[in-house]
Structure 1
Amino acid sequence: MVLAVLGGGLLIMGLVAVATGILPAADAVALGERIAPVLGFVVAITVVAAIAAEAGLFDRLAALAARLARGHGGVLWVLVVLVAVASTVFLSLDTTAVLLTPVVVTLARRVGLSPIPFALTTVWLANTGSLLLPVSNLTNLLAESDPAFGSAYVARSWLPAAVAVLVPVAILAVLSRRALAHRYTPPPAAPVADRPLFVVAAVVVALLVPALAVGDPVLHVPVWVPATVAAVVLAVTAALRRPGALSFHLLPLPLVLFVCGLFLAVTALGRLGLTDLLTAAAGTGSGPLDLLRLAGVGTVTANLADNLPAYLALEPVAGNEHRLLALLVAVNAGPLITPWASLATLLWHGRLTAADVHVSWGRFALLGLLAAPLTVGLATLAVLV
């Protein structure tokens, strides 16, 4: 409800800016064309996650992970770290936020551990782990297409990407050491209520994962296409098998409204002088202090206005490979403080709410204030190595 109200207010602000000419209509249309595929993917993958959870797929995956860890809470957490990083790198941060979150919550509950360390691990690594490949984050795709970046994206991104994963993992390991230092008895797999629906969900998700990984970079098929096909197949199957599971609540409409309003409002503010202000704050140069300055501005801007608008606003002041990569570090690994800093965080929170898990935004922000500066700072310095 709060997200819908905020989104409605921001959307009204944006529409007023268009009506008064502050934001030209042509620019608003161009902005819509850029974010429409992202929102299409978000809606489709949210539907996939909801129906797959209803089918019992995440319960089975959680039981499998619990058996693999052989009763060690710390080993179980390491498995979650590895899966979160792999999912983010190859499938994108939004996919990790939507598909992995219900798995780790179910997993923690099944073995008697607190779901909070597992949930925080998922959302932190969804953001900080999204530097390695272009497909990992939409900001990477935008940067890769920038002439200033050159070629061989992975050759330039791998070391900052590794640092951006290792730093938050180390922080989480220290913060969660007591909560994870427990043994448990691996629980048996829960019975499947509707086997045909379960089988269809398992096959669809199994096919969707590689489709998302190779579609955009190899086949040049936008990720929203396979996600939409998967959502339609699961929705039709659920309508035939469990029609009561389908409702408009499956669609993340408040989130879509919020994102549309946010992008319009931030773009309009750019026309009113925000872009000039950010340009002056970000400075120039490619030395260590120059890159840290740019990354600091990018981190603050991402946490105030979402990481994608932050990247678009600061992209013109990057200018070369080192500065573009430092900006990517900031807008990918820095959005750990405010709930709206990245779309992945909002999606993650939606999955937690659906699972009746509540994380205080105050606690989230305090932990983010610890992790974001360390992660962004060290990963930015790695850009120069």
Structure 2
Amino acid sequence: MAVLATFIFVATFALIVSERVNRVVAVMIGVAAMAMVGIVNSETAFFSAHTGVDWEVIFLLFGMMIIVSVAKQTGLFEYLAIWAARQSGGRPVRLMVLLILVTALVGAFLDSVTVLLLVAPVTFSVCQRLGLKPIPFILAEVFAANIGGTATLIGDPPNIMIGTRAGLGFMDFLINLAPITVVLLGVLIVLCRIMFRSVFVEDPVRAAAIMQLDPLDQIKDRRRAVYSIAVIGLVVVGFTLHTVLHVDPAIVAMLGAGLIIAVNRSTVAEFLEEVEWDTLVFFMGLFVLVGGLVHVGVIDVIGKAAIDAVGDEYLLAAGGLMAGASTIGAIIDTIPFTATMMPIVEGFVATIPDEATGTALWWALALGADLGGNATAVGASANVVAIGVAKREGHPISFWHFTKYGIIVTAVTVPIAFVYVWLRYFM
């Protein structure tokens, strides 16, 4: 079964990469194949926390898509677009740096998926007004969201999972991972300046026109805009305090969606307009496919083999965790990979007499999972969401277009992160 499951997954992934068929069609064919041969069933696909659809992610996405849809009707994102353009002086390089920093900062306190859903509409609007190609800016924001989310317990799903399993709190993540996150953001800005240099062409006429605009004029309904800002603010607070309140982020998002619909008296057409149904279906199918690999033990075998290979060489173990998380996790999504690796790492850490060294392995896993998510178009949830939003806006991003830049970012940031782990915890 393990060989058959691997074959089906690889074949499905090849279909997605080839882009000969729609990615949703490809993933549903893969799910159907696994179901036909008995690798997955209704129990493992829909009800298992380890091998099934991660409904918390699905409803988090659904709730935030509704919030974005209602807020967009008020002109709020147009307001933010004009504000961002004015702050940058209409200069493309400054605009990208501003968007990277804002995305990373917000991404440290919100899930990276949520950040992209909020920032992407602003980006498309400001790029349209300045006559810029939006895809490089969207890619830069995805990379920034995944890197920025590394800094805190709540910034990326793998961090929440690791923190819960290892007993690491918010301040533990901030103290240990925030320093390297700041360094990596600086590296990302330099990389984006080089990778996307061809799009940094300023249009003085458009820039001058933007500087004359009043952002407030873009608000279509100020009352509804104020209500929307208030609801988004409450959702942000809910996300930030969810570990204290013991309320899952998905519940926070759905409560926010219900509240913003109620206070704005939105119609069904309004609050469902921005829902990316194909993205939600793709996520569900991908969860089932990866769950099939987990169910038959493929991921477990890979993880245990990697840990056994390093023996008591703890620095090598840290490097192996980072390499594995940033390569395998980039292919199957970092969330299920992290879930599979956690019990293996926990058992390995229990054999290490030095507590600080053992904790360093958790940081290595977190860094590898978070940074490795940038490598491919399906490596992290934020990537899939950004591609879905871009397609809706008429600027499709192909698998290879995303990946050719994502691999560069990952190939540069992961080694730097490993050097940080080496210098801080093993020297």
Normalising by the residue count of structure 2, what TM-score does the alignment of the two structures yield? 0.79
Q: Which of 274, 279, 285 pairs up with 2:304?
A: 279
- 1:210 partnered with 2:237: yes
Task: Determine what percentage of the aligned residue pairs are the same residue.
Answer: 21
CA separation in 1, counterparts of 2:126 and 2:247? 33
CA separation in 1, counterparts of 2:386 and 2:45? 33
| CA gap 1:146/1:34 in 2 versus in 1, 3 angstroms | farther
Q: Which of 380, 386, 394 pairs up with 1:356?
A: 394
CA separation in 2, counterparts of 1:286 and 1:169? 34
What's the counterpart of residue 267 of structure 1?
291
1:20 CA drift (Å): 6.1
CA separation in 2, counterparts of 1:364 and 1:25? 31
1:293 CA drift (Å): 2.7
Q: Secondary structure at the match of 1:370?
A: helix
Q: Which of 274, 280, 283 pairs up with 1:256?
A: 280
CA separation in 2, counterparts of 1:156 and 1:286? 22
What's the counterpart of residue 8 of structure 1?
28
1:211 CA drift (Å): 3.0
Per-residue Cα deviation, 1:182-220 (whole angstroms, up to 9, x for no partner) = 35225224544444433332332233333322x213333
Do 2:27 and 2:282's aligned partners in 1 also have CA atoms closer than 8 Å? yes
Q: Secondary structure at the match of 2:140?
A: helix
For 1:174-193, list aligned pairs within 5 A.
174-180=194-200, 182=202, 183=204, 184-185=207-208, 187=210, 188=213, 189=215, 191-193=218-220
1:63 CA drift (Å): 0.7
1:238 CA drift (Å): 5.8
Do 1:163 and 1:375's aligned partners in 2 also have CA atoms closer than 8 Å? no
Do 1:128 and 1:334's aligned partners in 2 also have CA atoms closer than 8 Å? no
The amino acid that maps onto 2:140 is T
What's the counterpart of residue 76 of structure 1?
95
Root-mean-square deviation over aligned CA pairs? 3.0
- 1:99 partnered with 2:124: no
1:27 CA drift (Å): 10
- 1:334 partnered with 2:334: no
CA separation in 2, counterparts of 1:129 and 1:264? 28
Gaps of 5+ in 1: none
- 1:198 partnered with 2:225: yes
Per-residue Cα deviation, 1:92-119 (whole angstroms, up to 9, x for no partner) = 2111111111111211222233222321
- 1:152 partnered with 2:175: no
The amino acid that maps onto 1:4 is V
Do 2:39 and 2:296's aligned partners in 1 also have CA atoms closer than 8 Å? no
What's the counterpart of residue 29 of structure 1?
48
The amino acid that maps onto 1:333 is L
The amino acid that maps onto 2:362 is L
1:131 CA drift (Å): 1.0
Q: Secondary structure at the match of 2:29?
A: helix
Do 2:52 and 2:291's aligned partners in 1 also have CA atoms closer than 8 Å? no
What's the counterpart of residue 296 of structure 1?
323
CA separation in 2, counterparts of 1:22 and 1:234? 37
1:172 CA drift (Å): 0.6
Q: Which of 167, 191, 194 pairs up with 1:171?
A: 191
What's the counterpart of residue 136 of structure 1?
155
- 1:308 partnered with 2:308: no
CA separation in 2, counterparts of 1:2 and 1:71? 36
CA separation in 1, counterparts of 2:87 and 2:45? 54
Per-residue Cα deviation, 1:307-343 (whole angstroms, up to 9, x for no partner) = 1011122223333322221121121111223222111
Do 1:87 and 1:95's aligned partners in 2 also have CA atoms closer than 8 Å? no
What's the counterpart of residue 231 of structure 1?
257
The amino acid that maps onto 2:245 is L
Q: Secondary structure at the match of 2:150?
A: coil
Do 1:56 and 1:198's aligned partners in 2 also have CA atoms closer than 8 Å? yes
What's the counterpart of residue 353 of structure 2?
none
Gaps of 5+ in 2: 1-20, 350-357
What's the counterpart of residue 61 of structure 1?
80
Q: Which of 133, 136, 140 pairs up with 1:114?
A: 133
CA separation in 1, counterparts of 2:184 and 2:91? 26
Moved more, 261-270 or 185-194: 185-194
The amino acid that maps onto 1:263 is F
CA separation in 1, counterparts of 2:221 and 2:43? 52
| CA gap 1:47/1:330 in 2 versus in 1, 3 angstroms | same
What's the counterpart of residue 354 of structure 2?
none
Q: How many residues align?
A: 381
CA separation in 1, counterparts of 2:72 and 2:117? 11
The amino acid that maps onto 1:92 is D
Do 1:298 and 1:327's aligned partners in 2 also have CA atoms closer than 8 Å? yes
Q: Secondary structure at the match of 1:296?
A: helix
CA separation in 1, counterparts of 2:71 and 2:165? 37
CA separation in 1, counterparts of 2:45 and 2:377? 30
CA separation in 2, counterparts of 1:273 and 1:33? 14
CA separation in 1, counterparts of 2:406 and 2:236? 29
